[in-house]
């Protein structure tokens, strides 16, 4: 029976021509009985070129540019951190998405099928991070990006409770905890963090976050590289440097304790963002975009109402008060 089995297993070789040259395209297919897929590679990455010159890994020095990044998105939304790394051409070895919203998870999984999904920041513990350390041994940098919920500290919320009293906004405390876990479990890699929140918070809430992160934030408004204002605070664990389109101003002149302000400047073609036939009424940036939530009655103490003209208030009502700012 063993001889017969070996004979059957060798039959495919009778149809092979061992003098056939190698195909330059490498394919891989899925042999699943319930689904299928196929992919093809027509070239080598820089890492592949370096590996092709070596008999074993490590024989030839690997360039710094080949170092890979493990992307960790806390409160990940639709994976903007991973999208930004891809836009910059950064080699990413994996993406860990921590997000509760099911619809957002579907968006991330559709665009990055190999990502690791985690439903809650409370689930990120030492055991999980150790398992990721065993999976991503080639990571030279772990980048932890976080955008904790801002409802409890936002200036648009007249009923805000503050950074520590709001059950959503106090989730920012998980960020340094998780960063420390990665530092312990990835001793061979650099671990850096990037945390974002609204700039409309008061000084007390900003101080609370500063102490928790052990960092001072940078103020950045996207209006110089987009069509709208988006003033935000960014707690960044690495050194920032000026460059083309990047201007840095140290010090805090406003009410918040800041490390400084960063202006990101880029040429923006409004036609790339506006629907055909639409144009901006003037050169001023749009106000900060907010979520559209139609309601039969106005929200409590709507911001900006006292500064609106009568026709603007009527238009706001016609739109079912869907935006906090009726302008």
CATH code (residue 81): 3.40.50.150
Alpha-carbon distance values, 208 to 143, 162, 169, 215, 256 (Å): 23, 10, 12, 11, 11
Share of residues in the chain with pLDDT > 90 (%): 47
pTM, to two decimals: 0.74
Domain boundary (188, 217, 246) is at 217
- Are 159 and 78 members of one domain? yes
Residue 147 has which token pair?
């955008």
Write out the H or E segment, with its range, that includes residue 219.
strand 218-221
Tokens 């009568």 sit on residue: 310
Q: What is the DSSP letter of 21?
A: P
264 found inside a domain: no
CB 149 within 8 A of CB 168: yes
187 found inside a domain: yes
- Are 73 and 213 members of one domain? yes
Alpha-carbon distance values, 221 to 78, 80, 229 (Å): 21, 17, 6
Write the CB contacts of 298 (distance below 8 Å, at least 6 apart in sequence).
305, 321, 326
Cα of 162 vs its chain's centroid, Å = 25
16 found inside a domain: no
Please write the tens of the pLDDT for every residue from 30-74: 877 777 788 888 887 777 777 777 776 566 665 545 689 999 999
19 found inside a domain: no
- Are 202 and 301 members of one domain? no
- Are 193 and 298 members of one domain? no
Q: Could you tell me which residue, 286 or 325, shows the higher pLDDT?
A: 286
Separation CA 221–CA 171 (nearest Å): 24
Write the CB contacts of 122 (distance below 8 Å, at least 6 apart in sequence).
174
Residue 133 has which token pair?
């350390």
Q: Tell me the residue range of the domain where 155 lies.
A: 63-217
197 found inside a domain: yes
Residue 99 has which token pair?
């997000």
31 found inside a domain: no
CB 143 within 8 A of CB 71: yes
- Count of domains forming the chain: 2
- Are 299 and 202 members of one domain? no
Domain boundary (217, 235, 251) is at 217
Write the CB contacts of 30 (distance below 8 Å, at least 6 apart in sequence).
36, 37, 38
Domain boundary (217, 252, 281) is at 217
Cα of 179 vs its chain's centroid, Å = 15
- Are 69 and 208 members of one domain? yes
Buried b or exposed e, range 211-226, using 16+ CB within 10 angstroms? ebbebbbbbbbbbeeb
- Are 205 and 123 members of one domain? yes
- Are 79 and 185 members of one domain? yes
- Are 112 and 193 members of one domain? yes
Q: Could you tell me which residue, 75 or 19, shows the higher pLDDT?
A: 75
End-to-end CA distance of the chain: 83
- Are 167 and 302 members of one domain? no
146 found inside a domain: yes
Please write the tens of the pLDDT for every residue from 234-260: 999 999 999 999 999 998 777 888 989
Please write the tens of the pLDDT for every residue from 168-225: 778 889 999 999 999 999 999 999 999 999 888 888 889 999 999 999 999 999 999 9
313 found inside a domain: yes
Residue 162 has which token pair?
């503050």
């Amino acid at each position: 029976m063993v001889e017969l089995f070996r004979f059957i297993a060798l039959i495919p070789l009778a149809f092979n021509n061992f003098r056939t040259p190698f195909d330059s395209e490498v394919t891989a297919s899925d042999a699943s009985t319930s689904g299928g897929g196929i992919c093809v590679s027509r070239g080598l990455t820089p890492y592949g070129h370096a590996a092709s010159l070596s008999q074993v890994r490590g024989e030839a020095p690997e360039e710094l540019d080949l170092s890979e990044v493990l992307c960790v998105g806390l409160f990940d939304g639709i994976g903007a951190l991973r999208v930004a790394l891809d836009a910059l051409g950064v080699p990413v070895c994996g993406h860990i998405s921590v997000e509760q919203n099911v619809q957002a998870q579907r968006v991330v999984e559709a665009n990055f099928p190999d990502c690791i999904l985690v439903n809650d920041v409370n689930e990120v513990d030492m055991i999980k991070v150790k398992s990721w350390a065993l999976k991503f041994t080639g990571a030279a940098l772990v980048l932890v990006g976080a955008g904790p919920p801002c409802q409890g500290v936002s200036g648009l919320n007249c009923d805000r409770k503050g950074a520590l009293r709001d059950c959503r906004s106090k989730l920012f405390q998980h960020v340094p905890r998780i960063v420390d876990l990665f530092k312990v479990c990835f001793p061979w890699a650099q671990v850096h963090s990037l945390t974002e929140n609204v700039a409309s918070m008061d000084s007390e809430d900003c101080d609370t976050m500063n102490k928790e992160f052990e960092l001072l934030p940078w103020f950045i408004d996207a209006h110089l590289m987009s069509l709208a204002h988006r003033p935000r605070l960014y707690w960044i664990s690495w050194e920032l440097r000026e460059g083309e389109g990047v201007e840095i101003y140290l010090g805090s002149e406003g009410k918040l304790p800041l490390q400084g302000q960063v202006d990101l400047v880029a040429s923006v073609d409004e036609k790339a963002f506006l629907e055909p036939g639409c144009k901006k009424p003037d050169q001023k940036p749009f106000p900060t975009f907010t979520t559209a939530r139609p309601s039969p009655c106005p929200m409590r103490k709507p911001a900006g109402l006292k500064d609106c003209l009568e026709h603007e208030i009527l238009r706001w009502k016609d739109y079912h008060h869907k935006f906090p700012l009726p302008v």
